[in-house]
Amino acid sequence: MRRFTAAVAVLLLSLTACDSHTTQEVAPTPAPTGNLCERLAPHLSGSWKAAEAGSRLNTPLADSCSLVNTTQQVHQVLVSLSAVPVTDAQFALSRKSDGEVISGLQYAAKVIDGGVGPGSWAVNPAAAAPWLVFRADNRQIKLLFQNDGSGTLAELRSMARTILALPGGLPTAPAIIAQPACARGTAAAERLLGEKAVLRRDTLTDGYVWCQWGSQTLTVAVRSGGLGSDPSMDFGDMKDAFYAHRVKVAAEGWQASNGPLTFRTAKNAYVELVTTPDVPVRPAALVALAQAIAPAYA
């Protein structure tokens, strides 16, 4: 199966020295603006510009953007920055998850030391695009070439070191980016999380709503699309899988024995529900979320 109120701190440093004759004021230093790609592009060697990234499912919940080389459009890097800090244990769990992905896809590669700070890791497949994961200010960052063969792990490491030295540090992240249609699923998603969602990341992709709710450790995601989209292909795979069974959601729903669920509406919108990391969840709770969110696609 295939992307709360945060404090935005602006430090106003006013140092005033007064005597009977003069008053001096130091102007406040403006807080850096822009997403991480916009912040990073001017500091990279070569011709890079920031671009929007499509909807992504990330663990932990993250904001994504893209860097595009203007002299070679195929040379693109996806940049994902976690919306909240991650602990050492969460960081280690992400590394373990990447190792399981590599094993499952049978890449001619393995997870190796990233070489960019403690605990960082990288994957450099022989026949796929490399990626690198590290932390800055305890926030998890993933750099991934979006086209196979378009870049090297050495380039990603150079970008990572530039991020670590960025003037002003990392951009802050809003806690809520919401689409109204996703609100109908919030209560059911929080029952899956086992607590109130501290993060929301909802988007409209090709006219279809994607919804993501996150705690510090778990993300619940609803992804959707039309015929030919990844959710529609996942629907076909699930329907044909020996481990899936029919569920009463919309026009046709199927669910894996360990929870993940996909359904089709009468208007041929295809919707899938997953949790990340891929941990056991109550299948009935995912069905409840599917039933709550289905009217958004009717």
- Which value, in Å, is the radius of gyration of the alpha carbons in the chain? 21
What local confidence, expressed as pLDDT, does residue 98 receive? 85
d(C-alpha 238, C-alpha 262), whole Å: 7
Q: Which two tokens stand for residue 150?
A: 């378009």
Residue 132 pLDDT > 60: yes
Size (the chain), residues: 298
Q: What is the mean pLDDT of residues 79-83?
A: 93
Residue 11 pLDDT > 60: no
Angle at alpha carbon of residue 141, lines to 136 and 143, rounded to 5°: 130
What local confidence, expressed as pLDDT, does residue 238 receive? 96
d(C-alpha 191, C-alpha 67), whole Å: 37
Residue 21 pLDDT > 70: no
d(C-alpha 86, C-alpha 234), whole Å: 30
Comparing 97-106, 157-166, 181-190, 262-271, which segment has the lowest mean pLDDT? 97-106
The closest alpha carbon to 255, from 268, 271, 269, 266, belongs to 271
The closest alpha carbon to 281, from 256, 248, 254, 246, belongs to 256
**Distinct helix (H) and strand (E) counts, the chain:** 6, 18
For the whole model, what pTM was predicted?
0.79
The closest alpha carbon to 42, from 154, 152, 162, belongs to 162
Q: How far is CA 248 from CA 152, 181, 265, 268, in A?
A: 47, 21, 11, 16
CB within 8 Å of 12: residues ≥ 6 apart: 28
CB within 8 Å of 214: residues ≥ 6 apart: 60, 61, 83, 193, 197, 198, 199, 200, 201, 220
- 17 or 40, which is more confident: 40
What local confidence, expressed as pLDDT, does residue 60 receive? 78
What local confidence, expressed as pLDDT, does residue 54 receive? 67
Contact 262, 270 (CB under 8 A): yes
What local confidence, expressed as pLDDT, does residue 263 receive? 98
What local confidence, expressed as pLDDT, does residue 40 receive? 95
What local confidence, expressed as pLDDT, does residue 26 receive? 36
| Residue 291 exposed, middle or buried by CB count within 10 Å (0-12, 13-18, 19+) | middle
* Mean pLDDT score across all residues of the chain: 84
What local confidence, expressed as pLDDT, does residue 90 receive? 87
